[in-house]
Structure 1
């Protein structure tokens, strides 16, 4: 059984004391593929080091996270462009709109989002979308940019069934993580109405740890709790959940 964590911040400072042990613990627990989203330029070297340390397991994305779209966002986008031009990445991400922390930057968040969507099209790469309190705004951008070459993952999906179906209509897989195990997470109430072919697994570690680790540091090994929950909700084996979702990740990332 091979499990794919399509979204994990392994370079996070939360792992500075035990990064290698934590990654090896995940590998021992069948989590063999880690897709690493970018946040901003300050983490680029750490991402490259991760890839160097775990070359068979770590796959990198490049992008500017919406909460890091600040006054210097044009410089940050220039960094993204330079990195994409210099080597291979497996997605442009994580990109999108976040109105939870700061609504005043909405205009430049939209500009950065659209710019990076066009970079993904240029390099024939998927996008990985971050959406927080911004479904309408995200869908508006996706509608304006939709095309056969726009596809990817709606990371940490926590919307309604209707929003899930709309995301899928834009060639997006849904990234399902620890929230599906929460008592008040809501997605557990409808997720089995969505064909598993539209779903990939993620942790977003060190954030959003599943039950029974909720409130603690999340790590990639805990994705097994997500597999367990989806197995229960879809009434299929954990091996089948792992097989289908890993295949879906390969369809998106091309590896």
Structure 2
């Protein structure tokens, strides 16, 4: 059984004390593929370092996170573009719109989102979408950009079944993580109506730890709790869910 964590911030400062041990714990439990989203240029060096240490397990994305779209966003987007010109990455991410923290930056968040979607199309890469309290705004941009070159993952999907179908209509897989184990998470109530071919697993470590670790630091090993929950929801063996979701990740990331 091979498990793929399609979204994990392993370079986070939360792991500075035990990063190597934490990654090795996950690998020993068959979580062997880690896809690493970018936040902004300040994390690039540590992402590259991580790849160097675990070259067979770590797969990097490059992008500008919507909560880091600030006054200097054009410089940050230039950094993203420069990095793509220098070397290959597996996705443009994480990108999108976040209106939870700051609604005043909506316009430049939309601009950065569109710019990075066009970059993904240029390099024939998937996008990995961050959407918080911004489904309508994200869907508006995706509707404009919809074509055969648009595909990717709707990371940390927490919407309704209608929003799930809309996300899938833009060639997006749904990234399912710790929220599916929450009592008030809601997505567990309809997930079994969505074919597993549309699902990938993720942790978003160090954030959004699944039950029973909710509120604590998340780590990639805890994807096993997400796997257990999906096995219950779909009434399918954990091995089969691991196989299908890893296959889906290969389809998206081409590795």
User: TM bucket by the smaller chain?
Assistant: over 0.9
Q: How many angstroms does 1:46 deviate by?
A: 0.2
SS in structure 1 of the partner of residue 242 of structure 2? helix
Q: How many angstroms does 1:162 deviate by?
A: 0.3
SS in structure 2 of the partner of residue 184 of structure 1? coil
SS in structure 1 of the partner of residue 174 of structure 2? strand
Unaligned runs of 5+ in 1: none
- TM-score, L = length of structure 2: 1.00
Name the CA distance, whole Å, in 2 between partners of 1:192 and 1:179.
15
State the match for 1:62 in structure 2: 62
Name the CA distance, whole Å, in 2 between partners of 1:124 and 1:236.
33
Name the CA distance, whole Å, in 2 between partners of 1:66 and 1:132.
10
State the match for 1:115 in structure 2: 115
State the match for 1:225 in structure 2: 225
Q: How does 1:67-78 map to 2 (within 5 A)?
A: 67-78=67-78
Q: How many angstroms does 1:90 deviate by?
A: 0.1
Q: How many angstroms does 1:93 deviate by?
A: 0.1
SS in structure 1 of the partner of residue 156 of structure 2? coil
State the match for 1:181 in structure 2: 181
SS in structure 2 of the partner of residue 204 of structure 1? coil
Name the CA distance, whole Å, in 1 between partners of 2:131 and 2:212.
25
- TM-score, L = length of structure 1: 1.00
Name the CA distance, whole Å, in 1 between partners of 2:68 and 2:229.
33
Name the CA distance, whole Å, in 2 between partners of 1:119 and 1:136.
22
Q: How does 1:202-241 map to 2 (within 5 A)?
A: 202-241=202-241
Name the CA distance, whole Å, in 2 between partners of 1:126 and 1:198.
14
Structure 2 residue 6 is the aligned partner of structure 1 residue 6: yes
Superposition CA RMSD, Å:
0.3
Q: How does 1:14-93 map to 2 (within 5 A)?
A: 14-93=14-93
Runs of 4+ in 1 over 2 A off after TM superposition: none
